Amino acid sequence: MLIEANGLDRRNFQCWAFCPGMLFNSTDKWWGDHGKRDFPHEGIDFCMYKDLSGQLLRIDQKTRIPVMYDGFVRAVFRDYLGQALIIEHENARSGGRSYLSVYAHTKPCDGVNPGTEVKEGDIIATIADTSRSKAKILPHLHLSLGRPSPDLVYEPFVWNMMRDRELVDLQDPMSAIDWPCQVMDPQHRFCHEL
């Protein structure tokens, strides 16, 4: 949906490309000093893709973000680079249990607020402009998926709540990507220069 929502040419789109630090549970940074993260990564970071010629291209703050499935916006809060939206979903594919998708480092669209109902494919945000970031990190979409505890209270929600396994059971979002992906060698020039 991210490809279609942004008018990218599917015939020339080879794969999403990830540096190792962009992956779920990574303990390494993919930006700045490329050192260790304070906590394992809670999701995956969409930042670049390859076209059929093998050229790496980046997404940016004009990138439109569609919601993965029908659901309700449960929280919108400031994160490290923009704002994060938490969408709660319930459907037969999940055995009737609710689950969350978290779209972080974004600029939410007007009218996307807690309580808003969203339908699969609705544009909920664009990627935040990170040019003023102290970390000098490129614009990217952070996506987390998880199962909420019945004890999870969405107001007020803060980033660290995602790390509390008693509140959210985080899942690897790679299984939800319906397009080929490539994890690049950490020494690849592009990964090393981010």
pLDDT for residue 15: 95
Q: What is the pLDDT of residues 88-132, one digit of tens each?
A: 998 645 566 789 999 999 999 999 999 999 999 999 999 999 888
What are 93's two structure tokens?
A: 């594919």
Q: Which helix (H) or strand (E) holds 192?
A: helix 189-193
Kindly give the residue spans of alpha helices, DSSP state H, lying in 28-184: none
pLDDT for residue 140: 96
| Pair 100, 89: CB distance under 8 Å | yes
Q: What is the CATH number of domain 2-193?
A: 2.70.70.10
Q: Taking the CA atoms of 55, 122, 136 and 36 in sequence, report the sign of the dihedral they define.
A: negative
**Of the candidates 42, 4, 47, the residue with the CA atom closest to the CA atom of residue 26:** 42
Q: Report the percent of the chain where pLDDT is more than 90.
A: 75
Give the Cα separation of 169 and 6 in Å (integer).
Answer: 30
What's at 103, amino acid-wise?
A: Y
pLDDT for residue 93: 52
Specify which residues 65 forms β-bridges with.
125
Residue recorded with tokens 């978290």: 102
Q: Is the pLDDT score of 27 beyond 80?
A: yes
Average pLDDT value for the chain: 92
pLDDT for residue 85: 97
Domain parsing of the chain, residue ranges: 2-193
Which range (11-15, 51-55, 91-95, 186-190) has the least confidence? Answer: 91-95
Give the Cα separation of 98 and 90 in Å (integer).
Answer: 5
Q: Is the pLDDT score of 42 beyond 60?
A: yes
Give the Cα separation of 114 and 7 in Å (integer).
Answer: 28
Count other Cβ atoms within 10 Å, centred on residue 150: 6
Residue 187 pLDDT level (bands cut at 50, 70, 90): confident
Q: Is the pLDDT score of 191 beyond 70?
A: yes
Predicted TM-score (pTM) of the model is 0.94
What are 69's two structure tokens?
A: 């499935």
Q: What is the pLDDT of residues 43-53, one digit of tens each?
A: 999 999 999 99
Kindly give the residue spans of alpha helices, DSSP state H, lying in 45-167: none
pLDDT for residue 95: 60
pLDDT for residue 92: 44
Residue recorded with tokens 């945000």: 125
What are 68's two structure tokens?
A: 């993965």
